[in-house]
Amino acid sequence: MENKLKLLSPTERIDIRSDPWGDGHFGAPRGDHTHKGIDLRVYHREALVAPLICRVKRIAWPYRYQGKYMGIVLRSANEARNAEIKIFYMVPDETKLWTKSHQVLLQGELIGMAQNISEKYDYRMLSHIHLELRIDGKLVDPEPYLIDRG
């Protein structure tokens, strides 16, 4: 039987953004390139959870010259899976980063809090996190792997 990768949605609901600034699906047009992940809508300061059993690999910075927005890179702690997830526009939970950085985080465990990315653009951009999935180093559409938290 197929043992498919299942990613718990880090957000409370699976709702892909679509607004005047862009379509949040994987592969959607973004000027001279295409969207490398999916954008999941969030509530203000929404608590986000680990999509899979993982370790924190590193902090990520979506904008080189803007320190306010942050992100996280998670690596699967299941040795049978070569999966990596990058999430942007969230403040990682400090305790997961500095005091227990090599600790395994369980699927569904708190990883941080969503930031308000629409502040960087304008009110027409719906608040969201950006999520990328790499399997065996290759970018893939995360949507078919996502399962609802409900």
Query: Which residues are near Zn ion by CB under 5 A?
Result: 39, 130
What's the distance, CA 133 to chain centroid? 8
Answer whether 10's CB lies under 8 Å from 51's CB. Answer: yes
Token pair 């959607």 is found at 28
Rounded to a whole number of angstroms, the minimum distance from the CB of residue 9 to Zn ion is 15
Nearer to Zn ion, 88 or 92 (CB): 88
Rounded to a whole number of angstroms, the minimum distance from the CB of residue 64 to Zn ion is 16
Rounded to a whole number of angstroms, the minimum distance from the CB of residue 36 to Zn ion is 7
Nearer to Zn ion, 39 or 46 (CB): 39
Taking CB positions, which residue lies at the least distance from Zn ion? 130
3-state helix vs strand vs coil in the chain, percent to 5 = 10, 40, 55
